[in-house]
Amino acid sequence: MRLPSFFLAVAGLLPAVTAQSALNFTAFTHLNSSYTVGNGSFSVGVGKIDITPEPNPQWLPLNEYAFERIYVRAIVWESAGVYGAIINCEAATAADQVYTYGNKYVADLLNTSTSNVLFGFTHAHGAGPAGNVSALSYGGGGINGYENIGLAGLAAAKIALTNMKPAKVGYNNGTALFGVNSCHINQLTGRWTQATNTSGPVDHSVQVLSFVGRDDGIPIATYTSYAMHPVNSYLSGYTNGDWPGAMMRWIEQSFDDRDDFVAVMSLSASADVNPLARRTSANSLAAQQDIPINGLERTQEPVEEPLRDGYVRMKIPQVKYSRQLLDVLQAMGILLGEETIRLMSTTQEWHSNPTVYSRQALTTCPGRVRLDDAREGVPGVYTTGGTENLIRTGILAFDDIILACVGSGIYTDIGYAIKGNSTMPKTMVVAMINGQTASGYLVAANSWEQETFQALNAKIAPGPCGQQNVSLPLGAMIAHYKQTYLS
Ligand SMILES: *[C@@H]1O[C@H](CO)[C@@H](O)[C@H](O)[C@H]1NC(C)=O
Ligand SMILES: *[C@@H]1O[C@H](CO)[C@@H](O)[C@H](O)[C@H]1NC(C)=O
Ligand SMILES: *[C@@H]1O[C@H](CO)[C@@H](O)[C@H](O)[C@H]1NC(C)=O
Ligand SMILES: *[C@@H]1O[C@H](CO)[C@@H](O)[C@H](O)[C@H]1NC(C)=O
Ligand SMILES: *[C@@H]1O[C@H](CO)[C@@H](O)[C@H](O)[C@H]1NC(C)=O
Ligand SMILES: *[C@@H]1O[C@H](CO)[C@@H](O)[C@H](O)[C@H]1NC(C)=O
Ligand SMILES: *[C@@H]1O[C@H](CO)[C@@H](O)[C@H](O)[C@H]1NC(C)=O
Ligand SMILES: *[C@@H]1O[C@H](CO)[C@@H](O)[C@H](O)[C@H]1NC(C)=O
Ligand SMILES: *[C@@H]1O[C@H](CO)[C@@H](O)[C@H](O)[C@H]1NC(C)=O
Domain ranges of the chain: 28-486
Nearest ligand to the CA of 475 is: 8
Residue 364 near ligand 7, beta carbon < 6 Å: yes
Task: Express as a percent the part of the chain with pLDDT over 70.
Answer: 92
The conformational region for residue 123 under phi > 0 = left, psi -120 to 50 = alpha, else beta, is left
Out of 12-16, 138-142, 275-279, the most confident range is 275-279
Residue 362 near ligand 6, beta carbon < 6 Å: no
Question: How does pLDDT run across 379-409, given as a tens digit for each residue?
Answer: 999 998 888 999 999 999 999 999 999 999 9
What pLDDT does 386 receive?
A: 83
Question: How does pLDDT run across 28-55, given as a tens digit for each residue?
Answer: 778 899 999 999 999 999 999 999 988 8
Ligand 2 pocket residues where CB is under 6 Å: 39-41, 80-81
Residue 5 near ligand 1, beta carbon < 6 Å: no
Pick the more confident residue, 72 or 3. Answer: 72
Nearest ligand to the CA of 23 is: 1
For ligand 5, the distance from its centroid to the CA atom of residue 152, given in whole angstroms, is 20
Ligand 1 pocket mutation pick from 25, 26, 363, 472 by most atoms within 8 angstroms of CB: 26
What pLDDT does 21 receive?
A: 34
Give the pLDDT mean for 189-204.
96
Nearest atom, ligand 3, residue 110 CA = 13
Nearest atom, ligand 6, residue 197 CA = 1
Is the pLDDT reported for residue 17 higher than 50?
no
Question: How does pLDDT run across 155-193, given as a tens digit for each residue?
Answer: 999 999 999 999 999 999 999 999 999 999 999 999 999
pTM for this model (two decimals): 0.92
Bridge partners, residue 359, by sequence? 33, 395
Which strands sit side by side in the sheet containing 389-398, from one edge to the other? 29-36, 356-365, 389-398, 401-406, 427-431
Nearest ligand to the CA of 137 is: 5
Residues 176, 339: Cα–Cα separation, whole Å = 8
Ligand 5 pocket mutation pick from 58, 60, 98, 134 by most atoms within 8 angstroms of CB: 134
What pLDDT does 26 receive?
A: 67
Give the pLDDT mean for 399-420.
98
CB 34 within 8 A of CB 116: yes
For ligand 7, the distance from its centroid to the CA atom of residue 138, given in whole angstroms, is 28
Ligand 8 pocket residues where CB is under 6 Å: 13-14, 16-17, 416-417, 420-421, 467-468, 471-472
Is the pLDDT reported for residue 2 higher than 50?
no
Is the pLDDT reported for residue 13 higher than 70?
no
For ligand 8, the distance from its centroid to the CA atom of residue 276, given in whole angstroms, is 27
Is the pLDDT reported for residue 92 higher than 80?
yes
For ligand 1, the distance from its centroid to the CA atom of residue 23, given in whole angstroms, is 10
Nearest ligand to the CA of 467 is: 8
CB 412 within 8 A of CB 201: yes
What pLDDT does 80 receive?
A: 98
Residue 140 near ligand 5, beta carbon < 6 Å: yes
Question: How does pLDDT run across 124-155, given as a tens digit for each residue?
Answer: 998 777 776 655 544 456 687 888 899 999 99
Residue 109's pLDDT band, with cuts at 50, 70 and 90, is very high
CB 395 within 8 A of CB 429: no
Mean pLDDT taken over the chain: 91
Residue 26 near ligand 1, beta carbon < 6 Å: yes
Give the pLDDT mean for 75-92.
97
Residue 25 near ligand 7, beta carbon < 6 Å: no
Question: How does pLDDT run across 204-227, given as a tens digit for each residue?
Answer: 999 999 999 999 999 999 999 999
CB 252 within 8 A of CB 297: no
For ligand 9, the distance from its centroid to the CA atom of residue 344, given in whole angstroms, is 15
Ligand 4 pocket residues where CB is under 6 Å: 31-32, 113-114
What pLDDT does 133 receive?
A: 62
What pLDDT does 12 receive?
A: 28
What pLDDT does 121 receive?
A: 96
Ligand 2, atom 1: nearest CA belongs to which residue? 80
